Chain A
Amino acid sequence: MIGSGVLKGMAVTARNFVGSYFDKERLITVQYPEERNPLPENYRNFPFLLYDGDDPHAGLRCVACKICEKECPPQCIYIVKSDDKKPDYMGKPQFYPKVFDIDISVCMSCQICVEVCPFEAIKMDKDFELSRRERFEALLLRKEELSKSNDYYHKICPTDAPEVDAKLAEAAAKKKPAPAAAAPTPTSVPAA
């Protein structure tokens, strides 16, 4: 019968319409910003720099090796190496970035900087509410804005962060078979 196909289709829409009031499967909209879906642990958007302890300058893990700057596909990282050195988490004197800028209007959240970093110094953030009123300077994150503590990293990545800590502690123990074999966890490294 002509029209029966249309009626069948109407039945589907009716089922979906009624179902959307009762069935969670059929209504999955979330009323942002009042309601929020929890972000998955692997979620990434823009990179940030990690520091240990309380002092963003003393505890900064980045040694300004510029690998991420070189590997970044859209070239959004800009690093100037320091003239002097500061001790890193193992006490070894290292350079630090005098300038570390990331232009998040260029960054495409590809995570390659995180993968290539040999010092576990750069990680992906989860803060996505970043709208600004200006296009250039406001979207250029400086070192001060990028530096975030290890505690923050533990908060946003509860399973990855302890693994990273353990890896660093192991590396430190290997390098320094000193009597203090119980290598200090990076969070408790004294600010030198």
Chain B
Amino acid sequence: MSATVQTLEAIERPPVSMGSRLEGELLEVSMGPQHPSTHGVFRMNVALEGEVVRKLKPVFGYLHRNHEKLGENMSYLGSMPYTDRLDYFCSMTNNWAYALSVEKLAGIKVPERAEYLRVILAELTRLQNHASLLGFLLNDMGAWGTPLMYAFREREKILDLFESLSGSRMMCDYMRFGGCRCDTPPGWMERAKQIVDRFPHFIDDLEQLVVGNEVVIGRTQNVGILSPDLAINAGIAGPMLRASGVNYDIRKVDGYGFYPRFKFRIPLGEHGDTYDRLMMRVLEMRESLSILKQAFEQIQPGPIMNPKVKIRAFRPPVGEAYGRIEGPKGELGFYLISDGGQNPYRYRVRPPSFVNLTVLEDLCLGHTVADVMVILGSVDIVMGEVDR
């Protein structure tokens, strides 16, 4: 299962003949970085034989800002707003992953209400991420705008919730080590319940739009098949892994937060193709809704911050910790080494979409250029996180 990778330069090119094109000649195309379907400034160097992809090399770094170095030169708290900017669709889960790692590093307990709030916010984030991903994916397939606008309409309602809770739609910066920053404003929980109650209508609509649609089926079934063995070996995580039929969800395995208290199922794919990856998101949204409903019933008033945690001059003890959560895109981990100072000695982000791109070439080989866009869309990347 080793990588059969070669640099593009190493591809043997036949001598250029005047006039006629040789049969089997490879054409190098640089897709991106300015391309509407690459979900940001992502570039792929593709070698084509006619329409068929023979080689594909992803090129990263157009959005690189050395996030990890910034984190090492900043206090632990100072990195929290920067984590919002990693995967700017899911700032709440980024916050949680970072807070979880620091809590592991310093051995901090989180009050009950804060844990419930975190679960609620993470599942709302999953809803809006999956909804907009489906919109983008259908956009890539040529359903210009319509499903995307429906998805954004629903996403906007969730973002309004985030705004009234944390003050910002996307850059929430809401969680803190040992809890959350502020309690919910009056009426927030009722509004959230209302949105969650109405959300199934949107999923029904979307399912009607997608599931039986012949164009979607033609474009996605048997496209970009990922075998479970390769998926595990290549470190794929999240919905993409489960679409290949591997039953691994960190919410169940690690049982972080209060997830063991909720009843939910883990949807699994059968074929590992793009269609499965697409449907995985629809099914996960339904499970998220069920978690949310249980959380709304169980949450009780109480404190939301551990009073022992200092805001200023926070220094965790010497040591290291790796904390990870099941983000909407896959396993999001933070690896921190503390030397006892105010800044982390090492601050590492394990970005899910970056690692998920490892198999992009394997998925695309043998498919046409148009399929590359659909496969890339189903991987679900956000460049803020890939390039960091």
Q: Direct contact between A and B in the complex (CB less than 8 angstroms)?
A: yes
Q: A115 and B311 in contact (CB under 8 A), knowing A8-B212, A13-B146, A73-B82?
A: yes
- Is B213 positioned at the interface, with any CB of A under 8 Å from its CB? yes
Q: What 1/0 mask marks residues of chain B from 151 to 180 whose CB sits below 8 Å from any chain A CB?
A: 001001100100111111001010000000
- Is A180 positioned at the interface, with any CB of B under 8 Å from its CB? no
Q: Check A6 against B78 for contact (C-beta < 8 Å).
A: no
By a CB distance below 8 angstroms, the chain B residues around A40 are 160, 163-164, 167, 185
Q: How far is the CA of A4 from the CA of B157 in the complex (A)?
A: 31
Shortest Cβ distance from B205 into A: residue: A12
Name the contact of B156 in the complex, choosing from A28, A42, A109 (C-beta under 8 A): A28
Q: How far is the CA of A9 from the CA of B182 in the complex (A)?
A: 42
Q: How far is the CA of A3 from the CA of B164 in the complex (A)?
A: 44
Shortest Cβ distance from A110 into B: residue: B81
Report A106 CB to chain B, min CB distance, Å: 13
Q: How far is the CA of A90 from the CA of B205 in the complex (A)?
A: 61
Q: Check A112 against B81 for contact (C-beta < 8 Å).
A: yes
Q: Check A71 against B81 for contact (C-beta < 8 Å).
A: no
Q: Check A116 against B312 for contact (C-beta < 8 Å).
A: yes
Name the contact of B205 in the complex, choosing from A6, A16, A111 (C-beta under 8 A): A16
- Is A43 positioned at the interface, with any CB of B under 8 Å from its CB? yes
Report A161 CB to chain B, min CB distance, Å: 14
Chain B interface secondary structure, helix, strand, loop or mixed? helix
Q: How far is the CA of A16 from the CA of B208 in the complex (A)?
A: 13
- Is A176 positioned at the interface, with any CB of B under 8 Å from its CB? no
- Is A41 positioned at the interface, with any CB of B under 8 Å from its CB? yes
Q: A6 and B171 in contact (CB under 8 A), knowing A41-B185, A115-B181?
A: no
Q: A71 and B312 in contact (CB under 8 A), knowing A6-B215, A40-B164, A108-B81?
A: yes
Within 8 A of B (CB), among A1-58: 2-6, 8-9, 11-13, 15-16, 25-26, 28, 40-44
Q: How far is the CA of A21 from the CA of B275 in the complex (A)?
A: 33
Interface bin, chain B: 35 or more
Q: Check B153 against A5 for contact (C-beta < 8 Å).
A: no
Q: What 1/0 mask marks residues of chain A from 109 to 125 whose CB sits below 8 Å from any chain B CB?
A: 11110011000000010
By a CB distance below 8 angstroms, the chain B residues around A99 are none
Q: How far is the CA of A42 from the CA of B181 in the complex (A)?
A: 11
By a CB distance below 8 angstroms, the chain B residues around A44 are 167-168
Q: How far is the CA of A41 from the CA of B182 in the complex (A)?
A: 12
Q: How far is the CA of A63 from the CA of B156 in the complex (A)?
A: 41
Interface bin, chain A: 20 to 34
Shortest Cβ distance from B74 into A: residue: A73
Q: A6 and B312 in contact (CB under 8 A), knowing A42-B185, A43-B163?
A: no
Interface centre among A6, A73, A115 (most CB of B within 10 A): A73
Q: How far is the CA of A187 from the CA of B365 in the complex (A)?
A: 70
Within 8 A of B (CB), among A38-94: 40-44, 67, 71, 73
Within 8 A of A (CB), among B196-216: 198, 205, 208-216
Report A190 CB to chain B, min CB distance, Å: 32
Q: How far is the CA of A108 from the CA of B198 in the complex (A)?
A: 33
Report A66 CB to chain B, min CB distance, Å: 12
Name the contact of B164 in the complex, choosing from A4, A42, A116 (C-beta under 8 A): A42
Report B383 CB to chain A, min CB distance, Å: 18
Report A149 CB to chain B, min CB distance, Å: 21
Report B92 CB to chain A, min CB distance, Å: 15
Name the contact of A6 in the complex, choosing from B82, B163, B213 (C-beta under 8 A): B213
Q: Check B78 against A112 for contact (C-beta < 8 Å).
A: yes
Q: A42 and B209 in contact (CB under 8 A), knowing A3-B214, A67-B312, A112-B81?
A: no
Shortest Cβ distance from A9 into B: residue: B209
Shortest Cβ distance from B79 into A: residue: A73
Known: A2-B214, A42-B182; 11 extra A-B contacts, CB below 8 A, are: A5-B211, A5-B217, A8-B208, A8-B209, A15-B205, A28-B157, A40-B164, A43-B163, A44-B167, A44-B168, A73-B79
Which residues of A are at the interface with B, using a C-beta cutoff of 8 A? 2-6, 8-9, 11-13, 15-16, 25-26, 28, 40-44, 67, 71, 73, 108-112, 115-116, 124
The 10 closest A-B pairs by CB, nearest first: A5-B212, A110-B81, A40-B164, A44-B167, A73-B78, A5-B213, A42-B167, A9-B209, A12-B209, A110-B173
